[in-house]
Amino acid sequence: MPVFKAPFNGYSVKFSPFYESRLAVATAQNFGILGNGRIHVLELAPGAPGVTESVAYDTADAVYDVCWSESHDSVLIAGIGDGSVKIYDTALPPPSNPIRSFQEHAREVQSVDYNPTRRDSFLTSSWDDTVKLWAMDRPASVRTFKEHVYCVYQAVWNPKHGDVFASASGDCTVRIWDVREPGSTMIIPGHEYEILSCDWNKYDDCILATSSVDKTVKVWDVRSYRVPLAVLNGHGYAVRKVKFSPHRRSLIASCSYDMTVCLWDYMVEDALVGRYDHHTEFAVGIDMSVLVEGLMASTGWDELVYVWQQGMDPRAS
């Protein structure tokens, strides 16, 4: 299965919503603690090694997350450790990139998410406790959501309601927001420990998964959020990212500091349906392709990017 070796430690991987063979990877030098960063745009091709780099962009600080635009097939957005948000257009020559750089966050930008329904805006979340809403054509952020009291690790748009998003924070809460409202519309004190990631169910717009430092993934129905629908145990360390499958209603992928990527079916009694231990360092980035059913990608601090079909061994060549 395709493997890509990056020079720096991997932080995030995202499939392009336009091209089934394209993905972007966010990497950072020295585990993202100190040094530069690099964004790779990779193409999957038949034959070994299976994955080639089509372009790479260097940044002055770590790149913690990257996401593809839903409105322009060549545009991607990166969240940088120096608090900047940079926009790249792969259709333009490398010297013209980044086409924009927004310096507003006061701390590291931890996640970037493009609005899949409205397609005109994106969110960034930062360690400065805020989430910012941006539009592609605006010179500055459209709105800043400041309610969390600690790092906001992720902000994710609801796949059905274009104005709703969820944010996961180290203050142990998930907040649901509607951009038309002045403040958050719901606060879910989901875990006793920091919440590192959250993602919406792609088929049921009220279902949300969260992953936490307490090593669990919890699935919530926001209509009755006091008690989770499911608590998924199995990771040995903090769960860094969680992602709902775009193809199967109850399938969740997660990656953890325990170096594994796990697949869960939260509707089933014995929820853990797959475990991949291909990484040899923290597994911190994971994505599931919208265009190819079952295609997954992961990246970790071992500088490797794996792309594989569910059910197959990521390391098989």
Partner 1 sequence: MERAMERQKILLRHLNPVSSSNSSLKHEPSLLSPVNCVSEVSPMAAFGDDIVIVAAYRTAICKARRGGFKDTLPDDLLASVLKAVVERTSLDPSEVGDIVVGTVIAPGSQRAMECRVAAYFAGFPDSVPVRTVNRQCSSGLQAVADVAASIRAGYYDIGIGAGVESMSTDHIPGGGFHGSNPRAQDFPKARDCLLPMGITSENVAERFGVTREEQDMAAVESHKRAAAAIASGKLKDEIIPVATKIVDPETKAEKAIVVSVDDGVRPNSNMADLAKLKTVFKQNGSTTAGNASQISDGAGAVLLMKRSLAMKKGLPILGVFRSFAVTGVEPSVMGIGPAVAIPAATKLAGLTVSDIDLFEINEAFASQYVYSCKKLELDMEKVNVNGGAIAIGHPLGATGARCVATLLHEMKRRGKDCRFGVISMCIGTGMGAAAVFERGDSVDNLSNARVANGDSH
222 SS3 class: helix
Residue 131: CB minimum distance to partner 1, A: 12
With the CA atoms of 17, 175, 252 and 268 taken in that order, what torsion angle do they form, in degrees rounded to the nearest 10?
A: -150
Nearer to partner 1, 27 or 97 (CB): 27
Residue 312: CB minimum distance to partner 1, A: 30
Record the tokens describing residue 100, joined without a space.
């924009």
Interacting residues toward partner 1 by CB under 8 A:
31-34, 81, 106-108, 117-118, 120-121, 127-129, 133, 135, 141-144, 146, 149-151, 161-163, 170-173, 179-183, 189, 192-194, 196, 213-214, 237-238, 240, 257
Residue 49: CB minimum distance to partner 1, A: 30
236 Rama class: left (phi>0) / alpha (psi -120 to 50) / beta: alpha
Residue 103: CB minimum distance to partner 1, A: 9
Nearer to partner 1, 11 or 308 (CB): 11
Nearer to partner 1, 22 or 191 (CB): 191
Nearer to partner 1, 52 or 150 (CB): 150
Nearer to partner 1, 46 or 139 (CB): 139
Record the tokens describing residue 153, joined without a space.
């690790």
Nearer to partner 1, 42 or 198 (CB): 198
Nearer to partner 1, 4 or 257 (CB): 257
Instruction: Decide if 182 contacts 171 (C-beta within 8 A).
Output: no
Q: Which long-range contacts does 229-236 make (Cβ < 8 Å, 24+ apart)? A: 229/266, 230/266, 230/267, 230/271, 232/264, 232/266, 232/271, 232/272, 234/262, 234/264, 234/271, 234/272, 234/275, 235/260, 235/262, 236/260
Residue 179: CB minimum distance to partner 1, A: 6
Give exposure, 137-174, as e/b (b: 16+ Cβ within 10 Å).
eeeebeeebebbeebbbbbbbbbeebbbbbbbbbbbbb
**Rounded Cα distance, 237 and 59, in Å:** 30
Residue 150: CB minimum distance to partner 1, A: 5
Residue 121: CB minimum distance to partner 1, A: 8
Which neighbouring-strand residues pair with 103? 84
